[in-house]
């Protein structure tokens, strides 16, 4: 199990947060998603055998959030 934190552009509205949480929680390998509105961060706990940071970054981009940086631990 790994954790990844994406720093994204500022969120425009709370509905963006809900949309990201809903979509990301259904992705393969994702066990937990936390979106921090004020900090503009998305934290994901995932199983690296069934999901990858690149996939999750692509999904965030498709949802309208530009990823500024990512940190995997």
Cα 12 to chain center, whole Å? 16
Q: Name the 3-class secondary structure at 4.
A: strand
Three-state secondary-structure class, residue 5: strand
Output the pTM of the full model. Answer: 0.92
Stretches where the chain sits below pLDDT 50 are none
Q: Check residue 44 and give its pLDDT.
A: 98
| CA distances (Å), origin 6, targets 3, 9, 12 | 10, 10, 16
Residue 51 is predicted with a pLDDT of 92
40: left (phi over 0), alpha (psi -120 to 50) or beta: left
């Amino acid at each position: 199990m790994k954790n990844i934190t994406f720093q994204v552009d500022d969120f425009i509205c709370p509905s963006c947060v809900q949309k990201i949480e809903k979509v990301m929680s259904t992705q393969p390998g994702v066990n937990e998603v936390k979106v921090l509105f004020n900090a503009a961060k998305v934290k994901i706990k995932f199983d690296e055998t069934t999901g990858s940071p690149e996939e999750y970054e692509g999904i965030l981009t498709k949802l309208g959030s530009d990823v500024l940086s990512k940190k995997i631990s």
